[in-house]
Amino acid sequence: MTQTIAFIGLGNMGGGMAANLLKNGHAVHAFDLSDDALARAQAHGAIPADSAAQAVAGADAIVTMLPAGKHVEGVYGGDVFGAAKPGALFLDCSTIDVGTARRVIDAATARGFDMVDAPVSGGIAAANGGTLTFMVGGTDAAFDRAKPILSAMGKAVIHAGGPGNGQAAKICNNMLLGATMVATCEAFAMAKKLGLDPQTFYDISSVSSGQSWSMTSYCPVPGVGPQSPSDNGYQGGFAVGLMLKDLKLATEAAAAVNAAVPMGNAAAALYQLLVNQGEAARDFSLMIEMLEGK
């Protein structure tokens, strides 16, 4: 069933996601504070709006893909709920803290709307290609309504439980990713110092117990393993700054529930050092160069 969907936040990720909704036959009413982002969405066939409220008016569903919790709280604290038609479904796909996600969903519920938090795994290429994984928090009814819309933008849509659980899954996953990337980088750096050829170490470890996604799908060593950002000067991929953002969300969430996350804390400190070196924009597998002292 094709629907009219308001899309707020058409940046690196949202631009491709909205284009995939259009490809699947949905009508998209777009709003972004950036005129450039809005113009790119219009070029894909979206109808530009002058405000979030104007985009939302008449929409069956509203998707937000914003930088951080304060932007999400800003948009939902405005007049979007007041502008939405009764029965509209809200989906926030931004990566934000669990507390903000739950507060915004509570506000939607109090106004009689279904809403899910649905953060994504996969970067800009997956957003453009429609191959994102969505981790969804919300009631069964809200999830059932959200699934067909999210399926138009991704390859997997998984119900993680009640409101906020999508964000919980996302930050636990990315904390694991940050820690395994650091561990993979330090193992390659040490192997080299011990006289092991990186390709030989890959051939051994990729079929041994040290294997991980960071090694076999995203090897930080140029020329080793399948094509990855390390083969392209650590350009593209998942930015160091975004990894640090997610690790901070994870370690703050851990502190709030008294969870011990020594590896997550170590990864956060190391990614902070890379950001301090001015490397926020390059891919997070760049960690290997810092550990090699380059």
Show the DSSP H helices in 96-197 as ranges: 98-110, 124-129, 140-151, 165-193
8 forms part of the interface with ligand NAD (CB under 6 A): yes
**In residues, how long is the chain?**
294
Active site residue 147: no
- Of 137, 142, 138, the C-alpha closest to 169 is 137
Residue of minimal CB distance from ligand NAD?
A: 11
Contact residue for ligand NAD among 143, 234, 238, 271 (CB under 6 A): 238
Q: Which residues pair with 92 in a beta bridge?
A: 64, 117
30 forms part of the interface with ligand NAD (CB under 6 A): no
Residue whose token pair is 């800003």: 74
C-alpha to C-alpha distance for 150 and 38, rounded to whole angstroms: 21
33 forms part of the interface with ligand NAD (CB under 6 A): yes
Q: Which residues pair with 57 in a beta bridge?
A: none
The residue count for binding ligand NAD (CB under 6 A) is: 27
Contact residue for ligand NAD among 63, 102, 113, 123 (CB under 6 A): 123
Given the complex with ligand NAD, which of 94 and 228 has the nearer CB atom? 94
Phi, psi (degrees; rounded to nearest 5) at 48:
-75, 145
Longest dimension (CA), the chain: 66
- Interface with ligand NAD by CB under 6 A: which range of 63-71, 103-111, 176-184, 255-263? 63-71
CB of 192 to ligand NAD, least distance (A): 29
Contact residue for ligand NAD among 66, 84, 115, 224 (CB under 6 A): 66
34 forms part of the interface with ligand NAD (CB under 6 A): yes
How big is the CA angle at 148 (ends 52 and 15), to the nearest 5 degrees?
A: 45
242 forms part of the interface with ligand NAD (CB under 6 A): yes
31 forms part of the interface with ligand NAD (CB under 6 A): yes
Q: Which residues pair with 158 in a beta bridge?
A: 135
Phi, psi (degrees; rounded to nearest 5) at 153:
-120, 0
Q: What would you report as the CA-atom Rg of the chain, rounded to the nearest whole angstrom? A: 20
Site string for ligand NAD, 155-194 (x = CB under 6 A): ----------------------------------------
Given the complex with ligand NAD, which of 14 and 164 has the nearer CB atom? 14
275 forms part of the interface with ligand NAD (CB under 6 A): no
Contact residue for ligand NAD among 6, 59, 80, 120 (CB under 6 A): 120
- Interface with ligand NAD by CB under 6 A: which range of 67-75, 142-150, 214-222, 261-269? 67-75
CB 237 within 8 A of CB 204: no
Residue 57: its H or E element: none
Given the complex with ligand NAD, which of 234 and 238 has the nearer CB atom? 238
Residue 134: its H or E element: strand 132-137
User: What is the sign, positive or negative, of the torsion defined by CA atoms of 144, 145, 146, 150?
Assistant: positive
12 forms part of the interface with ligand NAD (CB under 6 A): yes
CB 170 within 8 A of CB 246: yes
Just list the catalytic residues.
170
Footprint of ligand NAD (CB under 6 A): 8-14, 31-34, 37, 52, 65-67, 71, 74-75, 94-95, 120, 123-124, 238, 242, 245
